[in-house]
């Protein structure tokens, strides 16, 4: 029975999933945590990722596999010297210290945001690698002088298997200096940061979607990808279906046949891992919000959900803007959460419900923006937050489309397994997903509650009053 392994290296942990190559049945899993981070400075030593992989791999039984692939957290900056050694801790996607650099970069092109969107499908914000590169040059000139290569977290982990720095189109599309439409690096944008540097040897080669990039312990190593692209593979995602992913952060995305460019910066026009495209909206605040409110109320996740389910839709007028550590969508890196509409007879259940509804409203604003660039007729929920009965109810009541719960415990790791299967046995990603039966789910609702518009309007009005967006 040949096996394949998928590695999900997220901000919080490394997870390993081992599947039967032929049937897709899960054979083993393992996991290990990463060091905790708190924005605005969010950094990790890449060596901690490898230690977590080794622990997770052992927990999964250290199996003999025919293929392996890594799907990693997007956008992070791993800075290397001429010997390939890590210069400083990696800056992660949710590190917001580069917000001034993102604003500066936008100003450097004549058409500002529109030119950036046309060039690389996105507008710089603090999350993207190009802004972090600008930060490194501005803040740490000594480390900048040592910089020889810049890679992404999944690139660095893949190099531990292969000895070479190689990336893929999905993860490269989140840097801000690789064009999904043209399929190539934009040296002119890198020159905005440093026109005297030869950038060609400083960035990894972009492998083809089905390319085998090396061998590790007899296993074919796939090119890997970013975590959102990996999740799309693990869900067997098709055009017309939008994913709402509820992790520490939140994402809303779908697959598209053509590249997208949103000059507002709300929708990032990424590439996917197969040759198509992945327009995506990201929020910094999702389950971290409900975790924080649970701590304040002295309950666990289940207890918070039970409290929220006691309150009616609309939380009796209580509204939470959930921008606890700044926000990416809308782009408010210095913002903080705002609680409003609290009467003297407020109940704990109202606050619990407002936390879930605030997160949901932010994600559904993202869905509205996504629909301007790609068709959507159904929504599927994934991620750890989707296990919450409160998140399932709130999103089912507020979303204007049918909502389903994905049958995917670990969609990112499963997507990496799909890549590993293609590397090991050939074929294409869609055929593997079909053979394994990926994409199934449980129908939760057929459309929004009649009062959904009122709840969302109140949230939007509070956002406008507080932040003018």
Single out the catalytic residue among 95, 168, 227, 262: 227
Q: What does the pLDDT read at residue 451?
A: 95
* pLDDT tens figures, 327-345: 888 988 889 999 999 999 9
Q: Which CATH architecture has domain 236-407+439-469?
A: 2-Layer Sandwich (3.30)
Provide the 8-state DSSP code for 468. Answer: -
Give yes or no on whether 3-227 and 236-407+439-469 have one common fold: yes
Q: What does the pLDDT read at residue 138?
A: 98
Give the mean model confidence (pLDDT) for residues 122-126: 95
Instruction: For the chain, give every domain's residue range.
Output: 3-227, 236-407+439-469
* Higher-pLDDT residue of 3, 445: 3
Q: What is the C-alpha to C-alpha distance for residues 129 and 178, in angstroms, rounded to an integer?
A: 11
Q: What does the pLDDT read at residue 243?
A: 97
Provide the 8-state DSSP code for 98. Answer: T
Q: What does the pLDDT read at residue 449?
A: 93
Share of the chain above pLDDT 90, in %: 93
N-to-C CA span, the chain: 55
| Residues 97-123 as b or e (16 or more Cβ within 10 Å = b) | bbbebbebbbeebeeebbbbbebbbbb
Closest by CA position to 79, among listed 160, 24, 153 = 153
Angle at 299 between CA 294 and CA 304, to 5 degrees: 60
* pLDDT tens figures, 100-111: 999 999 999 999
* pLDDT tens figures, 75-108: 999 999 999 999 999 999 999 999 999 999 999 9
Q: What does the pLDDT read at residue 325?
A: 85
User: In terms of DSSP bridges, do strands 149-151 and 78-80 run parallel, antiparallel, or are they unpaired?
Assistant: antiparallel
Give the mean model confidence (pLDDT) for residues 435-448: 90
Q: What is the C-alpha to C-alpha distance for residues 403 and 401, in angstroms, rounded to an integer?
A: 6
Q: What is the C-alpha to C-alpha distance for residues 169 and 225, in angstroms, rounded to an integer?
A: 8
Q: What is the C-alpha to C-alpha distance for residues 93 and 251, in angstroms, rounded to an integer?
A: 13
Q: What does the pLDDT read at residue 38?
A: 87
Point out which residues pair with 381 in neighbouring strands: 244, 405
Q: What is the C-alpha to C-alpha distance for residues 363 and 381, in angstroms, rounded to an integer?
A: 11
CB distance 77 to 96 below 8 Å: no
Closest by CA position to 93, among listed 108, 78, 110 = 78
Residues 310-313: contacts with CB under 8 Å, at least 24 apart:
310/347, 310/349, 311/347, 311/349, 311/350, 311/352, 311/353, 312/353, 313/357, 313/394, 313/397, 313/449, 313/451, 313/452, 313/455
Read out DSSP for 233-273? HHTT--TEEEEEEESSSEEEE--BSS----TTSSSEEEE-S
* Cβ neighbours of 286 (radius 10 Å): 26
User: In terms of DSSP bridges, do strands 78-80 and 268-271 run parallel, antiparallel, or are they unpaired?
Assistant: unpaired
* pLDDT tens figures, 239-271: 999 999 998 889 999 999 999 999 999 999 999
Domain 3-227 CATH class label: alpha beta
Q: What is the pTM of this model?
A: 0.91
* pLDDT tens figures, 368-427: 999 999 999 999 999 889 999 999 999 999 999 999 999 888 999 999 999 999 999 999
325 labelled catalytic? no
Read out DSSP for 263-332? TTSSSEEEE-SSSSEEEEEEES-SHHHHHHHHHHHT--HHHHHHHHHHSPTTGGG-EEE--BTBBTTTTB
What phi-psi label fits residue 439: left (phi over 0), alpha (psi between -120 and 50 degrees) or beta? left
Q: What is the C-alpha to C-alpha distance for residues 329 and 340, in angstroms, rounded to an integer?
A: 20
Share of the chain above pLDDT 70, in %: 100
């Amino acid at each position: 029975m040949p096996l394949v392994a998928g590695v999900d290296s997220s901000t919080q942990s490394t997870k390993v999933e081992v599947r039967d190559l032929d049937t897709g049945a899960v054979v083993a899993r393992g996991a290990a945590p990463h060091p905790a981070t708190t924005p605005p400075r969010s950094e990790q030593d890449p060596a901690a990722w490898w230690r977590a992989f080794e622990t997770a791999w052992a927990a999964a039984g250290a199996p003999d596999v025919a293929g392996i692939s890594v799907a990693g957290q997007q956008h992070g900056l791993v800075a290397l010297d001429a010997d390939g050694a890590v210069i400083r801790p990696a800056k992660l996607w949710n590190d917001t210290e580069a917000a001034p650099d993102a604003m500066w970069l936008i100003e450097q092109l004549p058409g500002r945001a529109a030119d950036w969107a046309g060039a690389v499908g996105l507008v710089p914000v603090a999350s993207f690698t190009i802004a972090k590169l600008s930060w490194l040059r501005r803040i740490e000139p000594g480390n900048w002088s040592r910089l020889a290569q810049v890679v992404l977290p999944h690139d660095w982990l893949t190099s531990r298997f292969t000895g070479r720095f190689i990336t893929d189109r999905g993860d490269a599309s989140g840097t801000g200096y690789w064009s999904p439409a043209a399929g190539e690096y934009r040296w002119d944008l890198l020159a905005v940061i440093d026109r005297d540097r030869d950038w060609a040897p400083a960035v990894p080669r972009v492998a083809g979607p089905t390319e085998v990039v090396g061998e590790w312990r007899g296993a074919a190593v796939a090119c890997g990808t970013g975590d959102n692209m990996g999740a799309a593979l693990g869900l067997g995602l098709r055009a017309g279906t939008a994913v709402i992913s509820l992790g520490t952060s939140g994402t809303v995305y779908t697959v598209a046949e053509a590249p997208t460019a949103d000059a507002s910066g709300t929708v990032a026009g990424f590439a996917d891992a197969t040759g198509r495209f992945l327009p995506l909206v990201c929020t910094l605040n999702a389950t971290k919000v409900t975790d924080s409110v649970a701590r304040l109320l002295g309950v666990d996740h289940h207890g918070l959900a039970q409290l929220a389910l006691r309150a009616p839709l609309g939380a009796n007028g209580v509204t939470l803007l959930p921008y606890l550590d700044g926000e990416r969508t809308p782009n408010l890196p210095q913002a903080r959460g705002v609680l409003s509409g609290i009467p003297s007879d407020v109940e704990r259940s109202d606050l619990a419900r407002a936390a879930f509804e605030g997160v949901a409203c932010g994600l559904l604003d993202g869905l509205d923006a996504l629909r301007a660039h790609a068709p959507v007729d159904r929504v599927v929920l994934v991620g750890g937050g989707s296990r919450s009965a409160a998140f399932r109810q709130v999103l089912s009541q507020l979303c204007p489309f049918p909502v389903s719960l994905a049958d995917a415990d670990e969609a990112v790791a499963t997507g990496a397994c799909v890549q590993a299967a293609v590397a090991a046995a050939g074929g294409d990603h869609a055929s593997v997903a079909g053979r394994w039966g990926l994409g199934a789910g449980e129908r939760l609702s057929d459309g929004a509650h009649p009062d959904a518009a009122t709840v969302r309007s109140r949230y939007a009005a509070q956002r406008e009053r507080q932040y003018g967006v």
